[in-house]
Amino acid sequence: MPTSENDLHYMRIALEQAKLSEPISSAYCVGAVIVKNDTILATGYSRELPGNTHAEECAIQKLKDNDNDNNNNNKDIIGSTMYTTMEPCSKRLSGKKCCVDRIKEIGIPRVVIGCGEPDNFVKCYGIENLKEFGIEVVLVKELEEECLKCNKHLGI
């Protein structure tokens, strides 16, 4: 089934976020966007915030910060979609909480992914973990090559 124009649009915005990531030899460059009702709630890219942060982690943190400012208690998440250029991590070598757990905890019901995570650092089971938790996962094959290209510094 072809990807919707809406999903392609927001995935391209996530790609623009990924291009803001500074390439380093020990991590991927990933972009993420959280959207609800055609409104961007938050964006993020790898290492945007201090502490070796992942794109999904940055977007979620910025959304939480905004929710706290507005006393929303994550109400914006209901019916939202996260767009991410790479499969959310299911394990982190740093020992920090993985992005799959962050997505599950905040309650994002749908995740659109540009490409699977290559096995450069760990074996990732993000897609399977999200689906097992009942989260809808859509893989955008049309932009897979472009999403991987953001990580050419790793020989991908």
Q: Which are the catalytic amino acids?
A: 56
Distance CA 124, CA 15 (A): 20
- Which residues are CB-contacts of 136 (< 8 A; sequence separation ≥ 6)? 109, 110, 111
Burial of 104 (0-12, 13-18, 19+ CB in 10 A): middle
Beta strands in 17-153 (DSSP E): 31-36, 39-45, 81-84, 110-113, 136-139
**CB 66 within 8 Å of CB 77:** no
Asked if 138 and 113 count as a contact pair (C-beta separation under 8 A), the reply is yes
- Give the residue among 59, 47, 11, 21 at the shortest CA–CA distance from 150: 21
Question: Using CA atoms, how far apart are residues 35 and 9, in angstroms rounded to an integer?
Answer: 11
